[in-house]
Amino acid sequence: MFDIAGKIALVTGGRRGMGRTHALMLAKQGAKVVITDVDLNECQLVEAEVRSGGGEAACFKMDVSNAEEVNRVFDEVIKQFGRLDILVNNAGIYAPKQALELTEEDWDKTININLKGQFLCAQRAAKEMAKNNWGRIINIASIASGGVGIGFEGSTHYAASKAGIIGMSESLAVELAPLGITVNVIAPGVIDTPMVHEQDKELSEDVMKEILQRVPLKRIGRPEEISAAVVFLASEEASYVTGATLYVDGGWLAA
Ligand SMILES: NC(=O)c1ccc[n+]([C@@H]2O[C@H](COP(=O)([O-])OP(=O)(O)OC[C@H]3O[C@@H](n4cnc5c(N)ncnc54)[C@H](O)[C@@H]3O)[C@@H](O)[C@H]2O)c1
């Protein structure tokens, strides 16, 4: 089950956090992984981890909000691996700020990385996947994507970017289905990554306590618990799943 042996998978934002575990787990299931991020040195460490586990990997510096850089890296991946089968659109930033203090620059930065970046990669990936009539695009949104009755302070721009991912993915799923490509979204709850720890000031002890009270499983998630969903959606076994949003949130939405 969930064998992706020989598939070529590209993970954005793969140097740390969930991107790192996505790369490691995809490789463990047999995929050749391309790790991309804004920091090449840290990508190289993940590449080495994949190799030391017996997997095959490559890495590239790629800022997802830069169309020229995205195209250059995809060209290189096709040159090296011959095709692309799986895209995990994981790169993202979370820079909380009160709505009344947000600048146009803040807004554009979050939207450009979190939303435009996913579109640029998905569009280019789909062109490659269509050549083989097979592909898996997995877009990472958030429990903060909206539409589920939960708003977060300081997250206007972040929530807008993540909500956009769900709308974009549903439309892409419809357009790309005839080309053999599925497009799905994973919306994580609070997961133990550097992104969360960097927000310590904003995510004070009290806020964390409140979050945990709302989560029936009474803990925040581990990155590997999101990667498991990535592996499922990347696999042949997920062939009838497209346009879906999978919430992996410890039961938060059910409570
Ligand atoms: N941690 C959580 O609780 C949580 C919850 C819901 C959704 N998410 C989402 O999950 C994804 C992974 O987040 P994480 O928690 O592992 O955070 P993280 O900060 O550890 O990882 C995000 C990665 O994205 C990279 N990145 C940032 N800007 C980039 C750019 N312009 N181009 C390429 N890469 C870029 C960063 O360098 C980093 O490696 C993000 O999309 C995030 O919004 C996280």
Residue % of the chain over a pLDDT of 70: 98
Please indicate, yes or no, if residue 199 is contained in any of the structural domains. no
Flag whether pLDDT at 202 surpasses 60: no
> Residue 133: left (phi > 0), alpha (psi -120 to 50), or beta?
left
Measure 254 CA to ligand 1 centroid, in angstroms.
25
Residues known to be catalytic: 158
Please indicate, yes or no, if residue 197 is contained in any of the structural domains. no
Counting from 1 in the atom list of ligand 1, the atom nearest the Cα of 14 is 39
Positive/negative CA dihedral, 199, 61, 36, 59: negative
* Minimum CA distance residue for ligand 1 atom 40: 92
Ligand 1 pocket residue status of 16, Cβ below 6 Å = yes
Strands 181-188 and 32-37: unpaired
Mean pLDDT of the 140-163 span: 96
Please indicate, yes or no, if residue 80 is contained in any of the structural domains. yes
Mean pLDDT of the 151-180 span: 97
Measure 130 CA to ligand 1 centroid, in angstroms.
27
Flag whether pLDDT at 203 surpasses 80: no
Nearest to 12 by CA among 54, 63, 49: 63
Q: For the segment 85-106, what is each residue's pLDDT rounded down to a tens digit? A: 999 999 999 999 999 999 999 9
Ligand 1 pocket residue status of 225, Cβ below 6 Å = no
pLDDT computed for residue 201 by the predictor: 58
Please indicate, yes or no, if residue 13 is contained in any of the structural domains. yes
Flag whether pLDDT at 79 surpasses 90: yes
Query: In the 8-state DSSP scheme, what is residue 82?
Result: S
Flag whether pLDDT at 236 surpasses 60: yes
pLDDT computed for residue 246 by the predictor: 98
Please report which confidence band the pLDDT of residue 208 belongs to, taking 50, 70 and 90 as the band edges. Answer: confident
Cα angle 108, 111, 228; round to 5: 155
Q: How many other CB atoms are found less than 10 A from the CB of residue 192?
A: 15
Q: Which residues contact 72 (CB under 8 A, 6 or more apart)?
A: none
pLDDT computed for residue 200 by the predictor: 62
Q: Would you give the distance in Å from CA 132 to the centre of its chain? A: 23
Please indicate, yes or no, if residue 39 is contained in any of the structural domains. yes
Q: For the segment 107-150, what is each residue's pLDDT rounded down to a tens digit? A: 999 999 999 999 999 999 999 999 999 999 999 999 999 999 99
Ligand 1 pocket residue status of 15, Cβ below 6 Å = yes
Please indicate, yes or no, if residue 244 is contained in any of the structural domains. no
CATH number at residue 115: 3.40.50.720
Please indicate, yes or no, if residue 116 is contained in any of the structural domains. yes
Please indicate, yes or no, if residue 250 is contained in any of the structural domains. no
What is the count of structural domains for the chain? 1
Rounded CA-CA distance 94/157 in Å is: 9
Mean pLDDT of the 210-230 span: 94
Please report which confidence band the pLDDT of residue 212 belongs to, taking 50, 70 and 90 as the band edges. Answer: confident
* Minimum CA distance residue for ligand 1 atom 43: 92
Task: Judge contact between 141 and 162, C-beta under 8 A.
Answer: yes
Q: Which domain holds residue 110?
A: 8-191+223-237
